[in-house]
Structure 1
């Protein structure tokens, strides 16, 4: 709660790790929680809007920012990316689809350093879904779209 006491407004950098972790807890399922595709479309829109509006994946901060806060934000983004990779590995096509959609947004919103360090892993994960005969058409189409975003991203 100390982060809230010192924050200036909802765009304060100190709130970004808290907001990202809260979004994950509320809207991005893990391997234990089921997913309803009907509600996930609405939730996906909400998550994308919040991530983009508050630039939660940008990891851009002033030079004077506290090292602990920098680490906290990097750790929150690491957790976000790991959750998406977990979803991409799911046998459930709806979870996989959600992970792919959020990965496309992540490609657009993440820092250049994160993009460059993760590019190969993300590409291989997406390609595996296109090449797999077992994956649903929905997953294949989402993977093609995410690869397009990956190729055209300016991060």
Structure 2
């Protein structure tokens, strides 16, 4: 998979750990900032990663802020994005299997690096089940228009 990643200043320290881990799993990943721990605003990174994913330049995205909530809300404002914030692996798996999520978000103040890796791994390995879930995802997509 080819992935985009972004974070605000709070997620800045966890981001390189996740980038390295994603590469170890055999995926490509491109960093869209932030590029320092200087205070910044999470919506700009949520939007940028979401736009890249929605445009088809990347297969998915990963976003990190303090809780994962604000940056995922920002990403979900972009048409075609189904971003989920997860603090444990089970929700990450089901978000992909049932909702075909294309962006994973989590909070560096909520999960440590090892739990974040577990969440990322499970999300990347999960696949959309389709079937009854496809109809529901289609309903969500229709809401965007």
Q: TM-score, structure 1 length as denominator?
A: 0.27
Q: Which structure's residues are more often strand, by fraction?
A: 2
* More helix per residue: 1
TM-score, normalising length: structure 2: 0.29
